[in-house]
Structure 1
Amino acid sequence: MFTGIVEELGTIVAREELSDAARITVRGPLVTSDASFGDSISVNGVCLTVVEQSPDAFTVDVMAETLDRSSLARLGTGSRVNLERAMAAGGRFGGHIVQGHVDGVGEVVSVSPSEHWTVVRIAVPDAISRYIVEKGSITVDGVSLTVSALSDGAPGEQTWFEISLIPTTLDETTLGSVSIGDPVNLEADVIAKYVERLHPATAAVQPDVK
C-alpha cells in the first residue's frame, strides 16, 4: 500500500519490449537505497515489483494488462516518473489509501497557472467519475491530491475534475510539466468502490421496519 506522497522523481534509463510485456529500468537512488528483490515501488501510480536492482536503479516487468490500462505504454527512455516506496508499518500516513491499481487514464484538458498555484483540469472516463467528489481524494500519476472542482455530469458534456497544485507539487513531481493532451494515471479512492460494492448486500439485510 502507498499514500500518494512522491518520494523522488526518477528517470527511465532502459526499456525492453517483450512479446507480451515490457521490462523497464528506472534510476531512482532514494527508493533503490533499501530496495530488494520482490519489493513494491509505485511508478507514476502503478504498483510494480522489483526484479533487479543496482545501487541507483531498479528494474520491473510490466505485463500487457498494465500497459493497456495505464500510461506506462507511452513512456520511454528519458521519461521522468513519480516514485514512492510501499508504506512501512508505523510510517506517517501523509496522503490517503493508494493501492497502486490504476482505474483508468485521464487526459489533461487545461493548465491554468496563477501566482501561487496552478489549476489542472483532467477529463475522466465515465466509469471512474462516479467515485470522484469535491474535496475528496484522488491519485493522479501516483500523487495524492484533493479534488478542487468537478463537472456536474450533465448528459452529453465532458466529465472532468480539477486539482490545484502548490509550488512544491509542481517542483517535486511530474505534474509540474504536464501539457494539454497528456495522459495521466488515475486511481479513485478505494473506500468509494467498496461502499458501492457492499451497498446492495447491506440494503438486503436491513430489517423491515413498519
Structure 2
Amino acid sequence: MFTGIIEEIGVVESIEHGDGDARLTVRGPLVVSDARPGDSIAVSGVCLTVTDLPGDGTFGADVMPESLRRTALGDLEPGSPVNLERALAVGGRYGGHVVQGHVDGVGSILRRTPGPRWDEVEIALDPELARYVAEKGSIAVSGISLTVTHVGDDSFGVSLIPTTLEATTLGRLGAGDRVNLEVDVLAKYTERLLTTAGVLR
C-alpha cells in the first residue's frame, strides 16, 4: 500500500518491449537505498515489483500486458521522468490517502491555469470512472495524492501547490499529456457493497 506522497522523481534508464510485456529499468537512488528484490515501488502510480538491484542506484521491474493496457507506462522512453514511492512501512507517517498502485485508467491533461504560486489543472477521465470522484475527495494522479476541487461528467480539477509542482512530474506536464488515475478504493467498495445489498442497481 502507498500514500501518494512522492519521495523522488526518478528517470527511466531503459525500457525493453517484449511480446506484450516490457522490462523497465529506473534510476531512483532514494527508493533503492533500502530496497530488496520482491519489494514494491510505485512508478508514476503503478505498483511494480523490484526484480533487480544492480547496486548503481537503479532497479529493474517487469511490466505485464495488463499494466501496459491499463496505464501510461507504455508511453515511457529512456530519459522519461517518473514519480517514485516506496510501499508504506508499518508505523510510517500516513500523509496522503489509501493508494494501492492499481491504476483504474488513463486520463489526459486538458489545460492548466497558472496562479501566483500554484497551478489549476483540469484532467479528462473516462465517464465510467467519474462516478467514483467527488469534490474534496481524494484521487491519485500518476501516483500523487491530490484533492479534487471540482468534478464533471468526464473531467475533474486539482490544484497543485508549489511543493507538488517542484517535487513531482506534474510540474512538467502540459495539455495532451497522459496520466495514470487511481480513484479512491473506498468509493469502489461502497458501490460494490450497496450493489450486492440491492440498494444500487
Task: Judge same fold: TM > 0.5, yes or no.
Answer: yes
Alignment partners' CA distance in 1, 2:126 and 2:72: 14
Q: Is the 8 A contact 1:32 1:54 kept in 2?
A: no
Equivalent residue runs for 1:1-210 within 5 Å: 1-55=1-55, 56-151=57-152, 153=153, 159-203=154-198
Please give the root-mean-square deviation of Cα atoms over the aligned residues, in Å: 0.9
Alignment partners' CA distance in 2, 1:113 and 1:19: 42
Q: Is the 8 A contact 2:130 2:151 kept in 1?
A: no
| Aligned positions, number | 198
* 1:126, distance to aligned residue in structure 2 (A): 1.1
Instruction: Write the letter of the residue equivalent to 1:142.
Output: G
* 1:15, distance to aligned residue in structure 2 (A): 1.2
* 1:104, distance to aligned residue in structure 2 (A): 0.3
Alignment partners' CA distance in 1, 2:46 and 2:156: 21
Q: Matched residue of 2:31: which SS?
A: helix
1:207 equivalent in structure 2: none
* 1:127, distance to aligned residue in structure 2 (A): 1.4
Alignment partners' CA distance in 1, 2:31 and 2:54: 11
TM-score (structure 1 length as normaliser): 0.92
The runs of 5 or more residues in structure 1 that have no matched partner are 154-158, 205-210
Q: Deviations over 1:31-84 (max 9, x none)?
A: 000111110000000000000013301000001110011000000100000000
Alignment partners' CA distance in 2, 1:22 and 1:200: 37
Percent of aligned positions that are identical: 55
Q: Deviations over 1:92-146 (max 9, x none)?
A: 1110000000000001000100102100100110111000000000000000000
1:156 equivalent in structure 2: none
Q: Is the 8 A contact 1:136 1:146 kept in 2?
A: yes
TM-score (structure 2 length as normaliser): 0.96
Instruction: Write the letter of the residue equivalent to 2:126.
Output: P
* 1:203, distance to aligned residue in structure 2 (A): 4.5
* 1:200, distance to aligned residue in structure 2 (A): 2.7
Q: Deviating runs (4+, > 4 A) in structure 1?
A: none
The runs of 5 or more residues in structure 2 that have no matched partner are none
